[in-house]
Amino acid sequence: MTEPQVASSDATNIECSILREGDHYIVNGRKWWTSGAMDPRCKILIVMGKTDLNAPKHKQQSMILVPIDTPGVCIERALTVFGFDDAPHGHAEIVFENVQVPIKNVILGEGRGFEIAQGRLGPGRLHHCMRLVGAAERGIEMMVKRALQRKAFGKFIAQHGSFLSDLAKK
C-alpha cells in the first residue's frame, strides 16, 4: 500500500494505477515497505492501486494479486523498519511498470481496496507498537543494569539523584 511520493497512511492518496485493458489490468506505480517481499518463498504480491478516479473517494482503490515474477515487477531494494533489518524475509521497495495481470486477480472486486486495507491495518500497526514497546523496555533494562554496575564520582551511577530522576521520567 505504501508509496514514497504520498502520505500513504491515507489510502485515498495512493497514486499506483490499476487500469483495465480488455481481459487484464495494467499496473503502474512504486511501492515501498512491501511486507515479506524479500522472503524467498514470496510468490504473490497484494498491490493496492486506483482503478476508478471518478468513483467516490473511498471506492477508487482496488487490490490485485500480482505474481512476483510477472514481467515489469522490479524489486529495487530491501528496507528496514524502525531500524530493524528482517533480511532475508523483510520489506522491499518495488516498481511496477506496465505489469499485466488477469482480471480474475482482483480481490473482492473493483473499488473494495480501501475496505480490505482497513481490516488489515489495525493488527499490523498493533504489531509494530508491541515491537517498539518491547525495544524500549529492553533499553531501560540495559540502562539500569549498567547503572548498577558502573561507578562515577565514588558511587554507582544508579545512586546519583540525576539518574533516579531521569529514570522516573521514563
pLDDT by 10-residue block (mean), the chain, 170 residues: 82 93 97 90 96 95 97 94 77 96 97 87 80 90 92 89 77
pLDDT of residue 170: 60
For residue 110, count CB atoms less than 10 angstroms from its CB and return exposed for 0-12, middle for 13-18, buried for 19 or more: buried
pLDDT of residue 124: 76
For residue 77, count CB atoms less than 10 angstroms from its CB and return exposed for 0-12, middle for 13-18, buried for 19 or more: exposed
